[in-house]
Amino acid sequence: MMVTMRWVLTLWLFIGCGSDEDAASEGAAQSDAEDTAGQRDTGSAGSLADCEDAADVTWDNWGQSFFRTWCAGCHAADAPDRHGAPETFVFDTEGQVANHRWLIRESVLESDRMPLGGGLPEAEAEILDVYLLCGLRD
């Protein structure tokens, strides 16, 4: 896992951190359950030891662009059509993402319910996992 993660992070750094394209998509609404940062352990392969070895993936150099690209179509405060996304799930700031990190991990990485219309490319999913576990400032 660590070798794969390092390869993905190296590839990510080489090709850039994504585009600013809007990734709005259609589909079913997300659960209205609230979530808070650090509330539960999802049993992921990631750990604090992995965080020590992970490249520095932050809101400024990756997270903001990722959430704008993949999530803003439904989860931005000013999204014209939220496609049923609850008003409480807004991911415009690092703090908003941190407050819902476990729900985001479950919805995107574990159950593949998000993003609507299809999952993430594997490389993006691996970086998201590192970011949610290691890169967020609480």
Determine contact, residues 130/91, Cβ cutoff 8 Å.
no
Q: What is the pTM of this model?
A: 0.66
The token duo for 124 is: 């993006």
Mean pLDDT value across the chain? 73
pLDDT of 87: 93
Determine the 3-state secondary structure of 5 from DSSP.
helix
Model pLDDT for residues 23-71, shown as the tens digit of each residue: 333 333 333 344 444 444 444 444 455 687 676 889 999 999 999 999 9
Where do the H-state alpha helices sit in the chain?
2-15, 48-53, 64-70, 72-75, 94-99, 101-104, 122-130
Q: How confident is the model at residue 136 (pLDDT cuts 50, 70, 90)?
A: confident
In angstroms, the CA 74 to CA 102 distance is 18
Closest CA to 45 of 132, 123, 136: 132
Q: Tell me the residue type at 123.
A: A
Where does the pLDDT of residue 138 fall: very low under 50, low under 70, confident under 90, or very high at 90 and above?
A: low
Listed residue (52, 50, 59) closest to 126, CA to CA: 50
| Helices marked H in 16-63 | 48-53
Could you tell me the pLDDT band of residue 80, with boundaries at 50, 70 and 90? very high
